Structures are given as structure tokens and as C-alpha cells.
Amino acid sequence: MHPLNVHSSKNLPMNASNPRAQRYNDVMRWLKRLLLLFGGLSLVASIALGAYLYHLDGVITEIFDGRRWALPATVFGQPTELYAGARLSRDELTAELTALGYRQRAHVRSPGAFQQRGNALVIHLRPFRFMERERRETIVEVAFAGGAISELHEQPGNRRMDLVRLDPPQIGSFYPNQGEDRLVLGPHEVPRLLREGLKAVEDQNFDKHPGFDIRGIARAFWVNISSGELRQGGSTLTQQLVKSYFLSNERKLSRKLRELAMAVILDARYSKADLINAYINEIYLAQDGARAVHGFGLGAHYYFNQPLAELAPHQIALLIGVIRGPSYYNPRRNPKRALERRDLVLTLMHRQQLINDDELALAIEQPLAVSSGTGGSVYQPAFMDLVRNQLRDNYSSESLTDEGLRVFTTLSARLQRAAGEAIEESLTEIETSRGLEAGSLQASMVIANAQTGDLLAVVGGRNSSYNRALNAKRQIGSLFKPVVYLAALESGRYNLASVLRDEAISVPAGRNQPDWQPKNFDGEIYGNVPLFQALAKSLNLATVSLGMDVGVERIGQRYGELIGGEAPPAFPSLLLGALDLSPLQVARLYGNFASGGFDAIPNPVIAVLDANNLTIDGFPIALRQTIAPNVSEQLTAALMTTMSHGTGRRSPFAKSGIAGKTGTSDGNRDSWFAGFDGRHLVVIWVGRDDNDRTPLTGSTGALAVFNKLAEKIGVEPLPPIRGEKLDPQTGLRSREACGEVITLPLPDNLDLPYVDGCGDSIRDSIRAWWSR
């Protein structure tokens, strides 16, 4: 045998003539090449991975820091003011407090509670920073008598108080992402039970893991397999935060790997306290129409109409439970499923010793008790559109979303609720009584201060995110007629008792066009009619005859002067309201009539304060006189007569001291009402979004909505009209002894006879002799 060990590679002869040696050399050469290649690739991969992670770190830091420290501007409505003599009953104040999230309790030991004590209410007010000063939490006793507040006392001590303001409702905020909304909370504003409850349910190893949790993933897998349903998720709170901040919902391995990498970076970069607080402000909890509800601050208002700090354990448990599937566990649509989920969360809280046995038993006994609405006292999208429009010229988007501004507005939560309720209730009644498809009618409403033009309530639609009050321009029909009569009164050739001819009229329409031949709504012709009656009964023929005499161009010019804008094209059809306006634009037009002859841009904002509560911008009322006082008085009297004896006469409030005008467009497509009393100007539109015909006129549609509103908010009569007593049918002088009369202001030197059989025969004889 050969003395060499043939099984030892180092004993193989190294020459080309040995096939085994050659094969060995080839293998070793390729192995070296592969090692060099893989080593190079590994180095390249390491560099690429490092660069990618460096990029992710930059992205995470920029976005997370930007959103974490952004303080969106918060927007508040008007606070309800309480004082002796205020027309507010105990039940009405109870409704106000309930809308603000106050809860009736046997005791008022903590803010946000009130107690009924005989015919009085004891309220533990929350602290709040008003524009002028900060209010500490205060206990106030409010006594009532005769449907009004009689006395106010601070308790303990029974110190008499002159004025108390409730918390103003927070109606919205300016958050960077379109369609998202949230109330950003600081760590000190978050209940401990929420922070620890989130960990107990969603991520028990949150304080220990580096951003992801292998044991948590395995545990969730086993629990879900064992129970046969999705009871636990494998993602940590940090991973959920990454998904909400940085990633889409696509289900790909690459996205999951990126999620893990970003979670590790986020966990390494920031403290656990920062991460849990960011999660509390960021997590998605519900969809409210076009608005996505993010964060537990807004979620508390959305589901319970209460601040987060005031929630009980069973309420906090429901919010935590909803995280797993806001639609699946929606307590309004799926109450049984939501209740089971809530009780599971309570059980997990108990296992982690966050609540004791008694607290668990009490919490499980509680109903879901979510609010019936969607946090309506908190979020008013139609009004917020107007706030955005007003602030857009003065503030950058960064200022509104980052600097913690506080915006105080003119919105009245009480009027806003009443307006929304009036629309829903009246349209439902109309659809039912007329056999219309449920939900087929739409409506919008604007309520403004009659004297200043400040916007008090805006309803953009019925169960809809589209803002019809601002964006829907529809033909206003007879709402335009007061402009025609205003121009006639200002001409000096007409007064309220002037006789107009209501007869067939043909107006040339231009080359190769048929003449325009308008008709009265009922097709009748009324002959000679007094001017006030032509407006009151909305007679088209008399109005066109009057308008053609005054001049269409002059009337269009007068309209432009009233609204501070351009005159519309001078087509004769303008006289009957062939003009498309939004309810907000109508409110500006009628504001001239309601205020006694002054134009004021409808204004939603009072002031803007910075994060230190210092006023940085105010929006004072700016009025511009547009109508002489004597003419304004005449027009108001005519519009009051329109309500009492004209197209508004069927309203139960027709003779309550209200001035107003109904309007109906061609084909009954649009039903309008615009009217005012001593406090409020109200504009209402009713119709269909597809612009199809309806069976409604202004009197049977929009006026019915106003009637419902007036039932809720009451009416403050306009001052009594001073002037001459006239017969409402003929427009001649009359006396109360002769029958019903109306009072209208007339020129001092007007020679107007008495209605037959009602005059002073001696005085009439002297007047007749003197006139010869």
C-alpha cells in the first residue's frame, strides 16, 4: 500500500495531471470567489440597510415631533349666561347642562355634576379660561320663579352673584389632516386608568419591549386559535402608533417589516410616556359622517358628551374596547357586541389590579349609556366652514394647526340645537303628511343677531356633511320683492297706501324672443291694490308693474348697494327673484331690513387668543347704513303685515310681532322663508338636492320649519308700529270700531279717505271743501 493517506486532502498531489487535485483546486477557487462576493454583498446590504434605517429615523423624527407637539386651534361657541331675570326655566337649564356633558347626581362633589334641589339647581362648574379671565371650579345654586332665573348664589357661603357663565361648548379644531378631528390632551389630562388599561388590554409588555413583542405575538396567536375568534392582536401599542402615523393599511410583508423597523426606532428615540400619550391622541375611534374621530379626548365627547377626565371605569373600558374595531364594536349600531367587548376589557383591568372587585361589579352593571347624538354640542361642521373662511385671510394653516390658538365665536349652542331639531322634526312631519319618501327633502338654516349680523347658528343640511347654507345657491323667488318695494318707497313717488295695478302685463324680451308675460301664483288678477297688500300677498303682476316703473336697473343697483357687491344683470325677471343665492347671502340681504337699515357682514368670530390667553385679533362689529330710518320703518311695517295678513298669516306666530317674507321658485323647487323679530334674523331653505319639484310653497315648507323653531326658542316682538290705522283690505283709513285694522306709517300730508261708513263726516266734509 502507498504510504500516503489518500483520504487526506493535504496529501493530494497538486498537479494538473491529477483529476481529483484539479477538481479540488476548482472548488476552492470558486469558493473563494463566492466568499468575496457574499462578503461584498453583505457589506453593501449592511450599508444599504443602515442608510434606509437612517432615512426612516429622519422621517419618523420629523413627522412624530411635528404632530406630537402640534397644538391645533380650538374653537368655542358662546357661553350661556345666567343672571336674575334671564328667561330660562329649570328644565331648559337642565337641557343646557346635559348638552355640555354635565351629569345629574345625588351630590356635586366634583366638576361636571349638577343636583336638583327643590325648584333650584346646584351646579359644580368646571374650571375654564375665558377671554377676560380664568374661572376656577365653582359651585353655584340657581333658583327659578315664573319660568325665569330669580337668584344666583355661590356655595358654600351663599354669596349672591350677578352673572354666571356656563362653559362655552368646544365646537371644533383645526387639525392638519383633512377630514380628521381630535382634542389634543397633555399627559396631565389623561386618567391613569386609561393609560394602564390600554397596556392591560393591548400591550401588557409595553414598558419592557423594544417596540415589538415576540411573546405578545405568540400569546395573541394562541388566544385567538383557542377561542376561535379575534380576541387579541399581536401588534404592540408602538406598532399601532406607527400604522396610524406613517403607514397605509395594505397587507404586505414589506409593509409589516417596515412597521417593525419603525417601531424599534420610535421606541429607541422616545420615552414610553411620550409614546403612550401620542397613542392616546392619535388612535382612530369612530367615523362621524365625513369627520374621522381620533384620540380619546374627542372620543369621550363623541360617545358620552363628556370630558375624558370625568369618565367612569365602564366608559373608559368601552373606549378601549372600540379600538379593536370602531365599526364592528360601534355601540350605537352593535350594542350587544360592544357590551360584551366592554365587559371583557373590565375583566382584564381587574386581572391587572387596576380596579377592585366592587368597582368591577359596579361597572359591569352599568348600561352602555352612549349619547343619543354624535357629540353635536362639540362639533359643528357647517359653522366651522364659516370660521375657516373668516380666519383664512389672516392666519396661515401652520398658525391654525400648530400654535394652540383659541378662537371664540358667536355660535349659540342652544339655537344651534333648536335649529337642527326644528329641521328634522318639521321635514319628517311634511314627508309623512304628504306621502313623500322619507329623507327626500333637505333644508338649511341661518340664524343671526338681528341688530349686529353676528351668526348664532348655521345648519348646513339634514344628516349631511354638505354645507347648503354656505355653498348651495338656489333661486330665491319672492324673497327678492322687498328690494323692489324698497326702491319704490325711496323714489318718493310711492307710499305704503299707494294704489298699484295688478293686471296682465307683457314685457318685451328682446330680439327674436317672445314677450315675458308673468302671472300671479294663483293665476288670478286683482285689479287695484294698495302697495302694502301687493307685497303682503306677493302679487307678481303688481310687483312687475311697480318694478318696471321704478326701473329694473335701479332695483338691481339697489340690491348691489345693500349687499356691498355688484348689481345683477338687469333682466325684468329679476323683479320676481330670478336670482340664485345661498341662505347665508340671503341673511346678509335681509340683515339690512332686520337691523333698521344697516349692512353687516355675517360674522362668526369674536376674537382669537394665543396659547397664553392674550388677544391677538379681534373682530369688532362693522355696520354701514344703507337705508334711511323712515324708509326702513315703512318696509318693516309692510313685512309685519305680510306675516299678519299676507302669505305668512297661517303661521301661529303671524301676529306675534314678526316681520317676514316667504318665497317659492319656479316649479316649487325651492321653498324659502326669511324673517326677523326683536332678537333674531332667520333664513330657511327647503327643497331637494336634485332640484326636482316639490309640492311645497314658501308658506307650506320653509315657514313650517320656522314655526317649529319659534316653538322652541320663543319670539321677541318687534316694537309696535306707529302710524295710521287702515283697513287691511282696501288700504283706506279706518277705525277699530269699524272692524279689523292695521297700523302703517304714512306721509304726514297724505290725503287718504276713510273706508265707507267709518269716517268722521264733519272732518270729511271740511277736507272735501278745502280740496276744491
Alpha carbon of residue 124 to chain centroid: 27
Taking the C-alpha atoms of residue 736 and residue 755, their distance in angstroms, rounded to an integer, is 12
Whole-number pLDDT of residue 14: 43
Amino acid at 630: N
CATH number at residue 477: 3.40.710.10
> Does one domain contain both 151 and 176?
no
> Does one domain contain both 120 and 269?
no
Q: Is the peptide bond before 695 cis (omega within 30 degrees of 0)?
A: no
**Which residues touch 330 (CB under 8 Å, ≥6 apart)?**
286, 322, 338
Backbone angle region of 354, left / alpha / beta, with phi > 0 → left and psi within -120 to 50 → alpha: alpha
Domain span at 281: 172-365
Amino acid at 523: G
Q: Tell me the longest C-alpha to C-alpha distance in the chain.
A: 167
Contacts of 331-336 with CB under 8 Å at 24 or more apart are 331/303, 331/368, 331/370, 332/370, 335/368
Give residue-wise pLDDT tens across range 254-292: 667 777 788 888 888 888 998 999 899 989 999 887 778
Q: Is 120 exposed, middle or buried (0-12, 13-18, 19+ CB in 10 A)?
A: middle
Per-residue confidence band for 28, with pLDDT thresholds at 50, 70 and 90: low
SS3 state of residue 474: strand
Residue 377 located in a structural domain: no
* Beta strands 113-117 and 103-104, pairing class: parallel
Taking the alpha carbons at both ends of the chain, their separation in whole angstroms is 166
Per-residue pLDDT for 172 more than 90? no
**Which residues touch 96 (CB under 8 Å, ≥6 apart)?**
80, 88, 166, 413, 414
> Does one domain contain both 204 and 264?
yes
Closest CA to 171 of 455, 585, 445: 455
Q: Give mean pLDDT, residues 148-159.
A: 94
Taking the C-alpha atoms of residue 307 and residue 350, their distance in angstroms, rounded to an integer, is 24
Closest CA to 659 of 673, 634, 684, 676: 676
Residue 621: HSE in the Cβ half-sphere, 13 Å Cα cutoff:
15
DSSP notation for 617-635 = EE-----EE-S-HHHHHHH
Residue count of the chain, please give it.
772
Whole-number pLDDT of residue 728: 93
Give residue-wise pLDDT tens across range 677-722: 999 999 999 999 999 999 999 999 999 999 999 999 999 999 999 9
Whole-number pLDDT of residue 291: 76
SS3 state of residue 190: coil
Residue 374 located in a structural domain: no
pLDDT higher at 90 or 394: 90
- Where among 68, 83, 100 does a domain terminate? 68
Per-residue confidence band for 3, with pLDDT thresholds at 50, 70 and 90: very low
Q: Give mean pLDDT, residues 122-127.
A: 96
CATH number at residue 359: 1.10.3810.10
Q: Give mean pLDDT, residues 410-414.
A: 93
Taking the C-alpha atoms of residue 27 and residue 357, their distance in angstroms, rounded to an integer, is 73
Whole-number pLDDT of residue 79: 94
Q: Is 518 exposed, middle or buried (0-12, 13-18, 19+ CB in 10 A)?
A: middle
Taking the C-alpha atoms of residue 400 and residue 392, their distance in angstroms, rounded to an integer, is 9
> Does one domain contain both 116 and 177?
no
For the ranges 61-70, 421-430, 455-464, the maximum mean pLDDT occurs at: 421-430
Per-residue pLDDT for 165 more than 50? yes
> Does one domain contain both 148 and 53?
no
DSSP-assigned letter for residue 137: P
Contact present, 83 and 153 (Cβ < 8 Å): no
Contact present, 193 and 356 (Cβ < 8 Å): no
Which three cell numbers, joined as nine digits, stand for 146? 315664573
Per-residue confidence band for 726, with pLDDT thresholds at 50, 70 and 90: very high
> Does one domain contain both 207 and 355?
yes
624 φ, ψ (degrees, to nearest 5): -135, 120
Give the residue ranges of DSSP H helices in 393-530: 397-402, 413-433, 468-471, 481-490
Which three cell numbers, joined as nine digits, stand for 605? 368670530
Residue 393 located in a structural domain: no
Whole-number pLDDT of residue 7: 39
SS3 state of residue 133: coil
Query: Active-site residues: which are they?
Result: 202, 478
DSSP notation for 680-747 = EEEEEEEE-TT----S--TTTTHHHHHHHHHHHH---PPPPPPSEEE-TTT--B--GGGS--EEE---
Residue appearing with cell numbers 348655521: 458
| Count: domains in the chain | 5
pLDDT higher at 184 or 413: 413
Q: Give mean pLDDT, residues 512-532.
A: 94
Contact present, 78 and 412 (Cβ < 8 Å): yes
Taking the C-alpha atoms of residue 302 and residue 611, their distance in angstroms, rounded to an integer, is 25
pLDDT higher at 688 or 73: 688
H or E, element range at 527: strand 527-530
> Does one domain contain both 708 and 611?
yes
DSSP-assigned letter for residue 463: S
CATH number at residue 148: 3.30.2060.10
H or E, element range at 499: strand 499-502
Per-residue confidence band for 45, with pLDDT thresholds at 50, 70 and 90: low
Contact present, 244 and 278 (Cβ < 8 Å): no
Closest CA to 646 of 705, 746, 729: 729
* Beta strands 598-599 and 624-625, pairing class: antiparallel
Residue 740 located in a structural domain: yes
- Average pLDDT value for the chain: 87
Q: Which of 144-148, 376-380, 659-663, 750-754 has the lowest mean pLDDT?
A: 376-380
Taking the C-alpha atoms of residue 624 and residue 455, their distance in angstroms, rounded to an integer, is 17
Closest CA to 412 of 375, 461, 455: 455
H or E, element range at 281: helix 272-282
For the ranges 275-284, 491-500, 759-768, the maximum mean pLDDT occurs at: 491-500
Q: Give mean pLDDT, residues 81-109.
A: 92
- Where among 664, 691, 713 does a domain terminate? 713
Whole-number pLDDT of residue 1: 40
Whole-number pLDDT of residue 26: 53
Whole-number pLDDT of residue 696: 97
> Does one domain contain both 497 and 596?
yes
Whole-number pLDDT of residue 214: 77
Taking the C-alpha atoms of residue 581 and residue 599, their distance in angstroms, rounded to an integer, is 17
SS3 state of residue 270: coil
> Does one domain contain both 159 and 198?
no
Per-residue pLDDT for 409 more than 60? yes
Q: Which of 226-230, 532-536, 666-670, 709-713 has the lowest mean pLDDT?
A: 226-230
- What pTM, to 2 d.p., does this model score? 0.81
What are 528's strand-pairing partners? 501
DSSP notation for 349-384 = HHHTTSS-HHHHHHHHHS-----SSSSTTT--HHHH
Residue 412 located in a structural domain: no
Per-residue confidence band for 376, with pLDDT thresholds at 50, 70 and 90: very low
Whole-number pLDDT of residue 264: 83
Residue 480 located in a structural domain: yes
Q: Give mean pLDDT, residues 546-574.
A: 96
Whole-number pLDDT of residue 770: 42
Which three cell numbers, joined as nine digits, stand for 502? 295688478
Per-residue confidence band for 458, with pLDDT thresholds at 50, 70 and 90: very high
Amino acid at 294: H
> Does one domain contain both 160 and 191?
no
H or E, element range at 285: strand 284-288
Alpha-carbon radius of gyration of the chain:
37
Per-residue pLDDT for 32 more than 80? no
Whole-number pLDDT of residue 216: 65
Taking the C-alpha atoms of residue 461 and residue 728, their distance in angstroms, rounded to an integer, is 38
- Where among 169, 195, 222 does a domain terminate? 169
Whole-number pLDDT of residue 533: 97
Closest CA to 732 of 568, 536, 528: 528
H or E, element range at 502: strand 499-502
Q: Give mean pLDDT, residues 421-445.
A: 96
Whole-number pLDDT of residue 220: 60
* Beta strands 406-412 and 74-78, pairing class: parallel
H or E, element range at 584: helix 583-594
Alpha carbon of residue 404 to chain centroid: 21
* Beta strands 284-288 and 180-181, pairing class: unpaired
Q: Which of 298-312, 438-452, 669-683, 687-701 has the lowest mean pLDDT?
A: 298-312
Which three cell numbers, joined as nine digits, stand for 435? 306621502
Q: Which of 154-158, 389-393, 621-625, 697-701 has the lowest mean pLDDT?
A: 389-393
SS3 state of residue 202: helix
Residue 308 located in a structural domain: yes
Per-residue confidence band for 49, with pLDDT thresholds at 50, 70 and 90: low
> Does one domain contain both 184 and 271?
yes
SS3 state of residue 338: helix
Give residue-wise pLDDT tens across range 223-247: 667 666 555 556 888 888 888 777 6
> Does one domain contain both 86 and 60?
no
Number of Cβ within a 10 Å radius of residue 211: 23
Whole-number pLDDT of residue 234: 61
Per-residue confidence band for 457, with pLDDT thresholds at 50, 70 and 90: very high
Whole-number pLDDT of residue 395: 85
Residue 409 located in a structural domain: no
